């Protein structure tokens, strides 16, 4: 698996979006540390709240940038965002239904891995827009 670290080559050229992406990478370290210190419950709640905000606020920011630049790949990108929203809502349901910490952590890890993948392969498409200005 690829290293779980944000690097400059993943920059989309938008400071706010890059900052949020860096936070996603940090979640992995946070999660691993919490598990090794036996703080499963606290970290699960913290991360769920982060993800719930991320799939609304952050995705909206990306979608706005893509709309402003008339991005051709918008529909496909937006579709991936919608899938993440479903996954995070499903995670929330499991949490509210008192699923075991192991189940929740496994599910969180899956979502984070997919988000990192999305940052690497889909969000990177935004970089050309920001770099080249309008109508690309």
Binding site for Fe ion (CB under 5 A): 62, 123
Nearest to Fe ion of 24, 48 (CB atom):
24
Nearest to Fe ion of 46, 61 (CB atom):
61
Q: Which residues of 81-95 are buried (b: 16+ CB within 10 A; e: fewer)?
A: beebeebbeebeebb
Do 71 and 136 touch, CB atoms closer than 8 A? yes
User: Rounded distance, CA 104 to CA 40, Å?
Assistant: 9
Write down the least CB distance from residue 62 to Fe ion, Å. 5
Write down the least CB distance from residue 123 to Fe ion, Å. 4
Nearest to Fe ion of 48, 58 (CB atom):
58
């Amino acid at each position: 698996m690829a290293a779980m670290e944000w690097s400059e080559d993943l920059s989309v050229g938008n400071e706010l979006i890059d900052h949020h992406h860096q936070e996603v990478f940090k979640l992995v370290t946070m999660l691993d540390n919490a598990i090794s210190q036996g703080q499963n419950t606290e970290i699960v709640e913290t991360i769920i709240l982060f993800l719930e905000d991320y799939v609304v606020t952050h995705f909206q920011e990306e979608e706005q940038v893509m709309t402003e630049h008339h991005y051709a790949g918008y529909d496909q990108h937006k579709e991936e965002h919608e899938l993440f929203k479903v996954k995070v809502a499903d995670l929330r349901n499991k949490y509210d239904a008192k699923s075991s910490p192991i189940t929740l952590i496994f599910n969180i890890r899956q979502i984070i891995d997919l988000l990192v993948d999305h940052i690497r392969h889909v969000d990177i498409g935004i970089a050309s827009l920001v770099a080249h200005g309008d109508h690309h």
